[in-house]
Structure formats: structure tokens, C-alpha cells
Amino acid sequence: MNGLPQLKTRSFLAFITDNSPLGIHRAGYNGVASLIPWRTGNNLLVPFYAGLNYELISLPGLPPYDEACDWKFEPRCEPMHIEAADEDRVVLVQPETSHAHVSARITFTTQQPHYLHQRIELQFHRRFCAQDEPNVFSALFASYIHAPADLHIYTKPDLEAGGDLDGWLGITREGHGASTYLCRPLPAEGEIDPSAHLEAMKRQEPTADQSPTGESLTFYYGLCHEEMFLMMFKRPEKFRLAYSPCGAGQEPAWNPAWDYVLHLDDARLGTPYAWDLCLAVKPYAGRADALTEVRDYLAG
């Protein structure tokens, strides 16, 4: 990854890229090209792809991008560049795209000891729905995780319900195109280590749920190479959950996509919109510790 801007904390090294290729990193993937905890030295992300990657624009009322360009991933195809980079900030810019006419400015910043912040700023330059209909908008951001032993993500949909160990779910799907999430509860009687998460999932029959986090997304974490990959979302009503157990391939092991979706009920022309989120990468120290991180972030 030599040649890419680097962001460092005491916990990890991150390489930031636009959507051009470099070495084994493939064209079309942007955001965090590699994310390497110092403690283990293992890249948490599939090296061909990326994490926190601006992947897909969805605009009801507009013909699909692939009808015009033979590929559905508009942010991957359209020009993007690194506008600024220093030791604690990298800015990606995508000018107004040719089909959806959306421009983007994506800023990555670090915070000690183990935080990577992402601020996504979008602006809409052309109406894409009928005049009497709202401009419903969504955009998928994907993180392709490198062969974790446990494919699930974990969350507490109601942050304040019960005690800190109550109401937790492990979430997966049967396959990439499956229509429903499969949810299983984590035990509430005590803290568990990372391996016990997966054991708890194996012991129970799942329940099917179209939207296990409702109409907003506050946080989730996954466990990968002895690290907790904790995603936290400011203003949760502007985010939705997306997830695939094998979105980054199935060989030699399943590589899940731990994703999130930006959402607007009615996007206005010429109005800048912003979404803020934070990734914490740290050794797993329990669900109560994860909630402390989330509450501190939401209050900060």
C-alpha cells in the first residue's frame, strides 16, 4: 500500500484510497484500503477491496445506472480523487456524477486511542423523482471483512432497554441474496468472550426479521482477528443496516460485508447533507464496554 495516505492511531494503521487501482487493491473501491491493528498485524479488510467504501446510489424514479453504463456501482465508476491528506486527515472528493448527479466529499480523521471518524457530505444537483413525489435517497457504504471466524454482527437495538447485557442480538443472513435477517439473542446473565459469541449463535434457532434494527441504526460490532470492529452512527435516524455473510466472496472462507446505508426521505436540491460515523478498533472488553463507547460517542 506504499503510495497511499496513511492514518495512524496508537491502535491501528489505516491506508486511505480513492477508486483507482494500486498493487493488489482493485479499481472501483474507495475509503479504507487496509486497516491493520498494531497488536496483531492482521489486515481486518479484504486486501482487494476496502472498508467504509462508497459503493452504491439508489434513487427511486431514476433508471438504474447499469442501464447506461453496464455496471450498477456509480460511485465506483465515476471520477474520484484525494483532495487533501496529512497525518490525521484525508479528504476524498467525487464531483457531480454523470447519472445521479450527486457530488460527494468524504473526510477521514483519527482520534486517539482507537477511533477513525468518517464524515460524508453529499449534494444533489438534479431532481430524480416526479415533482409531486419526495426525492427518497439511499447510498450503500460497504466494509469487506477478511475471513473472520464469526460472520455475525452484534447490536442492542434498544440502547436503553433493561441492563447493559439485556436485549442483544447476533445478526446474519443465510446468503448474499437472502431477503431476511436471522437473529439470535446473546445471553444476558454475564459477559462472554469473543468465542462464546459464536457458540451462543450455534446453540439456538434463529428468528427471521426484515429489519432487526428498525428504522434507525445506532451501532453494531463484529469480531475479527481478535479485535472488535465497532461502528457507531451519529443521528441514527439517517442510517440503516445492510449486511451480507459473504459479500466479499466465499473462497477460501466466507468474507462478510458489514455495511450501512445512508437515508433521506426527501433530498433537496442544492442543500448539503452530512452523515457522521465512527469506527473504533480495539481488543474486545465486553458488551458493557461497547455500550460505553457508543454512549460517549453519541453524547460527544
pLDDT one-digit tens code per residue, 113-141: 999 999 999 999 988 777 888 888 999 99
Specify if 212 maps to a domain. no
Specify if 266 maps to a domain. yes
For residue 144, what are the contacts with CB-CB under 8 A and spacing of at least 6? 45, 46, 49, 50, 51, 53, 247, 248, 255, 256, 257
Q: Of 78, 276, 258, give the one whose Cα is nearest residue 181.
A: 258
Q: Of 53, 45, 34, give the one whose Cα is nearest residue 261.
A: 53
Specify if 97 maps to a domain. yes
Q: What is the pLDDT of residue 199?
A: 96
Q: What is the pLDDT of residue 68?
A: 65
Residues facing 239 on adjacent strands:
262
Specify if 282 maps to a domain. yes
- Which structural domain, as residue segments, surrounds residue 31? 6-148+224-299
CA–CA gap between residue 223 and residue 152 (Å, rounded): 8
CA–CA gap between residue 292 and residue 280 (Å, rounded): 12
Specify if 211 maps to a domain. no
* Per-residue pLDDT tens digits for 145-204: 999 999 999 999 999 899 999 999 999 999 998 889 999 999 999 999 999 999 999 999
Over residues 273-282, mean pLDDT = 98
Cα-only R_g, the chain: 19
Number of domains in the chain: 1
Q: Of 21, 20, 45, 42, give the one whose Cα is nearest residue 34.
A: 45
Specify if 123 maps to a domain. yes
Whether the Cβ atoms of residue 260 and residue 56 lie closer than 8 Å to each other: no
Give the CATH number, domain containing residue 283.
Answer: 2.70.98
Specify if 12 maps to a domain. yes
Q: Are strands 181-185 and 239-244 parallel, antiparallel or unpaired?
A: unpaired
